[in-house]
Copies of this chain bind each other. A is one copy, B any other.
Amino acid sequence: MAVDLTPDPSVAQLAQRTAQFVRQVVVPVEERERGVARSEEVRVELQRAAREAGVFAPHVSAEFGGHGLDMRGRAAVFEEAGYSLLGPLALNIAAPDEGNMHMLEAIATEEQKERYLRPLAAGEVRSCFAMTEPAPGAGSDPAALTTRAERVPGGWRIDGRKWFITGAEGAGFAICMARTAGEPGDAGGATMFLVDADNPGMKTVRHIETLDESLYGGHIELLFDGCVVPDEAVLGEVDQGFRYAQVRLGPARMTHCMRWLGIARRAQDIAVARAAERRLFGSRLGDLGMVQQMIADNEIDIAAARGLITQACWELDQGGHASQSVSIAKTFCAEAVWRVVDRALQICGSLGVSGDILLSRFLREVRPFRIYDGPSETHRWSIARRVLREHDKTAGR
């Protein structure tokens, strides 16, 4: 009984099966599609293959067709899935569906689970999570939430504007955060609502062009304009939305880290292969000291990121919020993954910035992760404040 990093054998096996599936099945599709699934055909093709390979939806419980992985198990498997930009889509563990499934399993009623979670876990529909708002609304500061839900007979009427709602295009339903009490800036008073895609009060304003393009269903601006939903649309309890958001956010941040860590490893593998083959100034590229330094720094960043993910996941699996460890892991991973891809691209030189290989695509995909799910600056602020609070407590203030 001591610190043990040996994964559960069934997890190790699933991770290995995932690794093999991604390399053999997903990567060829990814390269063909240049990293971005632009049609339902691709999604359906990949998800069918994942089901056949027995690696589909590993995070949901067996009841809903998955393998019931805890956070540590997800860490092992999602990293392997993330080795391709299309791996998470194939396994149905892409954002935001994966986080939504996690939350629905945790707080939805049985009826809601049957109606929303079951088809979502099966890959029959997709979903989105409508929280972020244009400035000065909810963003880095969730409490700035301005979208309101007002009581109407038998339900609620939601009004407000959301943007950067990932996956909203083609989603079967949205989970929408709206303020049911208090004013923008207040720490409480939010409620989550399940809104069907065909609700006429929920309108797609536009598809926001972004640097990254691989998250399926895009980043969408939505308008909730007199959007009426019934009482059964309330997810969890009224006014408890911020608390649920925390339930969702910690794990969702970690699964982002896991997936992007996979891309970091992929980038490193591409760069190492190049360094091993390319000759320059009479040497193998990989024999030049500055290239070796980049390769080594990538290894260090990848290993450190994995260690921080392990720590946070272990804490989450113990039942806590793990807020500090999650902030630390998220901040480090987002920046480390970025550095790794950037160095890999540099090693590959002009080939690296070309579309002939996927590194410049990876670079575009990972950059926004330093911003979404909490910008690095916001997390650093939280980390420092927790440390200072802890100090004040100990010092008896």
Asked if A388 CB lies within 8 Å of chain B CBs, one says yes
| Residue-wise interface mask of A (277-292) relative to B, using a CB-CB cutoff of 8 A (1 in contact, 0 not) | 0111110001011111
Report which of B2, B303, B354, B371 forms a contact with A346, defined as CB distance below 8 A.
B371
Q: Are A311 and B307 CB-contacts (below 8 A) given A356-B208, A364-B364? A: yes
Q: How far is the CB of A203 from chain B (nearest CB, A)?
A: 19
- State which residues 119-172 of A face B: CB under 8 Å: 132, 135-136, 139-141, 163-164
Q: Is A106 an interface residue (CB 8 A)?
A: no
A197 interface hit (Cβ, 8 Å): no
A273 CB to nearest B CB, Å? 6
A353 and B384 contacting across the interface, CB-CB below 8 Å = no
Q: In the complex the two chains form, is B295's CB within 8 Å of A292's CB?
A: no
* Complex Cα–Cα for A319 and B230 (A): 61
A360: nearest residue on chain B (CB-CB)? B211
Query: With A1-B8, A164-B350, A332-B304 in contact, is A380–B280 under 8 Å at CB?
Result: no
Indicate whether A290 sits within 8 Å of B377 (C-beta atoms), given known contacts A7-B2, A282-B185, A331-B296.
yes
Interface residues of A in 232-251 (CB under 8 A from B): none
* Bound complex: CA A338 to CA B297 (Å): 17
Query: In the complex, which residues of chain B have a beta carbon less than 8 angstroms from the beta carbon of A259?
Result: none
CB contacts (< 8 Å) of A276 on chain B: these are: 388, 391-392, 395
* A345→B376 CA distance, assembly (Å): 13
Copies, count: 4
Q: B296 to A293, Cβ gap below 8 A?
A: no
Could you pull out 15 A-B pairs where Cβ atoms are within 8 angstroms? A4-B4, A5-B310, A139-B349, A140-B349, A275-B388, A276-B392, A289-B381, A292-B381, A293-B380, A296-B387, A299-B383, A303-B328, A307-B308, A346-B377, A350-B372
Chain A residues at the B interface, C-beta cutoff of 8 Å: 1-9, 11, 70, 72-73, 75, 132, 135-136, 139-141, 163-164, 185, 208-212, 219, 268-269, 272-273, 275-276, 278-282, 286, 288-293, 295-297, 299-300, 303-304, 306-308, 310-311, 313-314, 324-325, 328, 331-332, 345-346, 349-356, 360, 363-364, 367-368, 370-372, 375-377, 379-381, 383-385, 387-388, 391-392, 395
